[in-house]
Amino acid sequence: MRVGLICRDSIKRIITELFTSREIQADENADIYVVEIGSELPKDKVSIVFDLNNMDPFIELLDKLCKPLEDTADTIIGKSSEDKYEIISYDKIHYFEGRGNNTVCVTAYCEYKVKAKLYELQERLPQNRFIRVSKSLIVNITCVSQIIPWFGRRFVLRFCDSKKEVEVSRSYVKNFKNFLGI
């Protein structure tokens, strides 16, 4: 993995050692930058801001990002409305929704922007838990509390721990029924 680094020269060696121990290569041409709090953020780049006085969350994030793919196969990284990146377990995800050019991960309490497109998520997510229910929605069936028959041979899905509802569109109903075995 390659990341850019912006920090004081006096701590650059420490951060570089953290990177090296996790097989992260510092590269000025990277799309992702690690930036010390108070430093200027690079334009048009994703930035992870760290505070030298509170390094634990930063180190945890580095460890999570650098684990082998099979160790992180049940999580996704999303950006909250407060511009913080969080690691979200598939168990907490209710659904993914395509909104214009953005993909949003919806949980019971928050929404996160994710980098992947819906078609990429459909290939990557566990096929026994996640199903496409419309052109713009992929649902985690394990978080659905009710399946309600609706007008025009459609279904409405209600989620655990939430008042959110989504609709299974007509063109996806047959696939949805086959998925559930009904």
85/117 same-domain check: yes
79/159 same-domain check: yes
Measured CA to CA in angstroms, residue 121 lies from 4, 7, 67, 98, 124 at distances of: 27, 34, 20, 11, 5
Q: Please say whether the beta carbons of 86 and 64 come within 8 A.
A: no
Residue with tokens 């990146």: 85
169/106 same-domain check: yes
pLDDT in tens, 114-155: 999 999 999 999 989 999 999 999 999 999 999 999 887 889
Of the candidates 66, 87, 109, which is a domain's last residue? Answer: 66
- Taking the whole predicted model, whether its pTM rises above 0.75 is answered as no
The CATH number assigned to the domain holding 132 equals 2.40.50.1020
52/88 same-domain check: no
81/49 same-domain check: no
DSSP state for residue 31 in the 8-state scheme = S
Map residue 177 onto helix, strand or coil: helix
- Has residue 26 got a pLDDT over 90? no
51/86 same-domain check: no
Q: Which stretches of 100-153 are assigned E, i.e. beta strand?
A: 102-107, 111-114, 130-134, 137-140, 144-150
pLDDT in tens, 49-107: 999 888 888 888 887 777 654 444 688 999 988 888 888 999 999 999 999 999 999 99
Mean local confidence (pLDDT), 24-34:
88
Domain that holds residue 78: 74-180
